[in-house]
Structure 1
Amino acid sequence: MNYGLNDRMPLFPLLLYGLQWLVISIPSIIILGAVTASMNQEGAAQQILYIQKLVATVGGGLIVQMLWGHRLPLVMGPASVLLVGIISATAARADAVNTAIVLGGALLFGLGISGMFDKVQSVFTPRIVVVILALIAFTLSPVIVRMLFGRTTDVLFNFILALSLSLVMIYLNNRLPGMWRSMVVFMGLVVGTTVCFLVKGPQFPAEIGSVSAFSAHWFDFTFQLDGGVLLSFLFCYMALILNELGSIQSVGQQIKADKLNERSRRGISVTGLFNSLSGLLGVIGPVDYSLSPGVIAATGCASRFPLIPAGVGLIMIAFMPSWLVFISAIPEVILGTILLYLMGSQLTAALQMMAREKSVSSFNSGLIIGFPLMVALVISFAPEQALAELPPLIRPILGNGFVMGTLTVLLLEHVIFKDEKKSF
């Protein structure tokens, strides 16, 4: 290892490694940010403003994590599990969603600083974690389908492009060494967009010139409490905690960092704080990503300090919206393809954990995993007119495949098959 966790370095290597982390961070922010912005904002100018706020929030969160949070070399990005909550609450006002994100972040912050988080961990058995990881991928499937085929007549072109690009990214992920593997998503984004531009031509919205570096609309929060939306997001934050913990533990164990439990509590506290800030700004909340182990192994740099200039770079980009204009021209089929690849990776992580923990050793233990996934799939693909018949208060819960899948696995694991857990 060239640089350890707390090793400082000369300015040039610091900036060079910082640029590397910046380039690795940007694709996830662009992809999930663009998907969420297209669902929440009308017009390209508003969508780019959404991305600006998201990039600035992630950059600020990254800096605070390096200085006062977990202080581990981990990149941040939008939490895909919160996208599940946003999708399920499309019938509710944006103010209710933002309020739920503020309160969910406050809950995380409270769990982190109070020390109560250690007691919460006992709920998450390996089988429940496997199901939650898989649920994120399964419940985002309808979104992927709509992005690939929902708004176009070029179904054959989109299908061939999505399948080909996904397979190419899988091949590159298998063949490229260390750090380059972390660039696969960015490569796929560039190559896929280029192919679409060559076939269909680029399309930049006319109103793009109205984007400004700073706007009064950065801060436009109205408190609106919706019980159904809030409960739905609380389940999403259960999964976000698992994501955060897994990222911290994986990198911490790789570089043999000390006081991992304390780092986890501080990391969760900072993540909660910046989720609340995200809600106030009206954007999706961030979480730490588990991309770092491969990058650290490839570069030999485990120092946390290069991520500080990376965070500064993100904040600078946020206030230069002309750099973000190209986001408005990324074809929806490419965003859907990248999301397909990412959710395939998410499902792979669930299957790896299931094998590693030997989570399925009997019919009943398999049912604990399989049945909640089927419940989630049925709800996720249920006709919109059927979900519209549900009472508004409970629609974000009963109409949310992720929430119902999580409730089902908790019921099976801790109630119905409680007495059989040891025999599994």
Structure 2
Amino acid sequence: MKSNDGISILLAGVQWLFFLFTNTVLVPLSIGHALGLASPEIAASMQRSFILTGLLCIVQALWGHRFALMDGPAGVWWGLVLGICAAAPAMGMDLGTVAASLTAGFLISGIVAIILALLGFLRLLQRIFTPIVMGVYLLLLTFQLANTFFKGMIGYNDDDKWDLQVAGLSLFVIVVVSLIHMKGKGKLGQYSLLGGIVVGWIAYALCFGSGGGSGSAEAGTAMIWHWMPWGTPVFEPGIVMVGLLAGLVNMTNTLTSLIAAGRLYQQEAGQKQFVRSLLITNLFSVAGGCFGLIPFGTFASSIGFLENTKVLRRSALIAGAALLALVGIVPALSGWLAQLPLSVGSAVLFVAYLQMFGTAIRSFHGTTFNAKTIYRVALPVLTGIGIMNVPASAFAEFPPLLTPIVSNGLVIGVILAIAMENAIRWDKYETKPSGAAVPRESASVR
């Protein structure tokens, strides 16, 4: 390997490291606080999460789906766990019981997903997940992520106020990332996200001093590998049922990610790739559940990262994932990276995920829209966005175990899109020019 290639892979790997780290660190931190865990336990959970996420990405890149896609703590599970913890008092459950019940849900969901993958259930999902449904999913995911990171980059706090100084710095970071991406010559444009993080972190330190990170990882003396840290699994029917639904949604996320990646790589994902990916992800999810981690999933948001950086080599992801695992092994590295200002990381990821909007729009290519057929996209997308902007307190009257689902705009929007695609024959309402056929994309992946 030429030295220049080695340096390029290392730089791309460091860029992947920050992407993986930023998308991982807040999950164990927020869940640990929601469950009332002690600081050393949260720090140990963060280290376990880094190590398993890094190993999972490497295994997937080498033997699983074989794309440069991030696999990490699944967003649908993250939201579900936080929602159940918030609803614990209404359910008459203490946090210890909730944690033990969630562990059972993680394990059962992972095992069921493995069985379904082996039985060929994915073929049914492929028929259900038409290009329209996939486009709706990606649009809603883009809006959800953009909303989350926009709040982080403007310093939005518990008092519902902006921090104008932080917002100004985030705007500067966005400009830096955009200029490097658009004006960078040669390979320079591929490292726009890394450049934004470095420049933004330095600027933050100059403006505000140290601090501003997402938390401390001081698990130097803590036992990292603690078996069943959330207690012996307890079978709570309601939590397990909601968990099974979350597992199903997580399977569709893998499906969407691999279809989008196949288009980006101009290499259609095969059936074996889907099955291998699901098996590996859920085997890691079962293992992670035994160590107090939420189930893993393939990140569709990786598509935005890949389109922004133009670095499609698996070697770059493998390098970044290996570095993330190293960060988990060495507490000092975890503590240092945990000081990355949240506003800087959010601003960089906000730019990265803008590319995913284009991926979503391209999913509708070949579909005819008019005053009637526009409903098949507009209704689920706008309904999902509407739910995303409704405070969680507005769902207090719903049954506690349904609250995490009905309050999730992404899940409701996708369910609505699937229902409309299967209940309505949209081709009857398409306006076709006389004597010409309107090209349509296949509704499934073969």
Instruction: With the length of structure 1 as denominator, give the TM-score of the two structures.
Output: 0.79
| Amino acid aligned to 1:262 | K
Hey, what does 2:426 align to over in structure 1? 420
Give the conservation status (yes or no) of the 8 Å contact 1:235–1:403: no
- CA 1:290/1:404 → structure 2, altered by over 3 Å: closer, same or farther? closer
Structure 2 counterpart of 1:419, one-letter code? R
Q: Does 1:281 align with 2:291?
A: yes
Distance (whole Å) between structure 1 residues aligned to residue 244 and residue 113 of structure 2 = 14
1:395 has 2:403 as partner: yes
Q: Does 1:202 align with 2:217?
A: no
1:389: Cα distance to partner? 2.4
In structure 2, the residue matched to 1:121 is 126
Q: Which residue of 2 aligns with 1:220?
A: 229
How far 1:402 sits from its partner (Å)?
A: 1.5
What is the CA–CA distance in structure 2 between the aligned matches of 1:102 and 1:120, rounded to whole Å?
A: 22
Which residue pairs with 1:41 in the alignment?
32
1:373 positional shift: 1.8
- Per-residue CA deviation, residues 272-313 of structure 1 (Å, 9 max, x unaligned), is 3223333333335242644797799769xx6x6786666544
For 2:266, which of 238, 250, 253 is the aligned residue?
Answer: 253
Pick which of 331-340 and 213-222 moved more.
213-222
Preserved contact between residue 138 and residue 376 of structure 1 (Cα < 8 Å) = no
Q: Does 1:340 align with 2:382?
A: no
**Aligned equivalent of 2:220:** 211
Q: What amino acid does structure 1 have at the position aligned with 2:18?
A: P
**Aligned CA distance change for structure 1 residues 283 and 328 (closer, same or farther; 3 Å):** same
Contact 2:45 2:224 in 1 (8 A): no
Distance 1:32 1:307 in 2: 14
SS of aligned partner of 2:298? strand
Report if the CA contact (8 A) 1:112-1:269 is conserved. Answer: yes
Q: Which amino acid aligns with 1:32?
A: N
Q: Structure 2: where are the runs of 5+ without partners? A: 89-97, 431-446
Once structures 1 and 2 are overlaid, which stretch shifts more, 97-106 or 268-277? 97-106
**1:126 Cα deviation from its structure 2 partner:** 0.9
Q: CA deviation at 1:64?
A: 2.6
Distance 1:292 1:114, change over 3 A: farther
Q: 1:412 to 1:26 in 2, by over 3 A?
A: same
- What is residue 51 of structure 1 aligned with on the other side? 46
Q: 1:330 to 1:365 in 2, by over 3 A?
A: same
Aligned residue identity for 1:253: Q
Q: Deviations over 1:4-35 (max 9, x none)?
A: xxxxx79x899767635532431222111123
CA, structure 1 residues 170+414, in 2 after alignment: closer, same or farther (shift >3 Å)?
Answer: farther
The answer to whether the Cα contact below 8 Å between 2:84 and 2:401 also exists between their aligned partners in 1 is no
Of 135, 150, 155, the match for 2:157: 150
Deviation at 1:176, TM superposition (A): 3.3
Unpaired segments ≥5 residues, structure 1: 1-8
Aligned to 2:16: 25
Q: Find the aligned partners of 1:177 and 1:84 in 2 and give their Cα distance.
A: 40
How far 1:188 sits from its partner (Å)? 2.3
Retained in 1: the 8 A contact 2:106–2:289?
yes
Deviation, 1:236, is 3.4
Q: Is structure 2 residue 144 aligned with structure 1 residue 139?
A: yes
For the residues of structure 1 that align with 2:136 and 2:347, how far apart are their CA atoms? Answer: 23
Q: Distance in 1 between matches of 2:130 and 2:378?
A: 15
Cα RMSD (Å) of the superposition?
3.7
TM-score, normalization by structure 2? 0.76
Greater helix share, 1 or 2?
1
**Greater shift in the superposed pair: 215-224 or 322-331:** 215-224
| Structure 1 residue aligned with 2:56 | 61
Is the Cα–Cα contact under 8 Å of residues 82 and 233 in structure 1 kept in the other structure? Answer: yes
Asked if structure 1 preserves the Cα contact closer than 8 Å seen for 2:392 and 2:407, the reply is no
Match of 2:418 among 410, 413, 423: 410
| AA at the equivalent of 1:233 | A
Larger RCO of the pair (alpha carbons < 8 Å, separation 6+): 1
Decide which moves more: 143-152 or 367-376: 143-152
Distance 2:223 2:99 in 1: 21
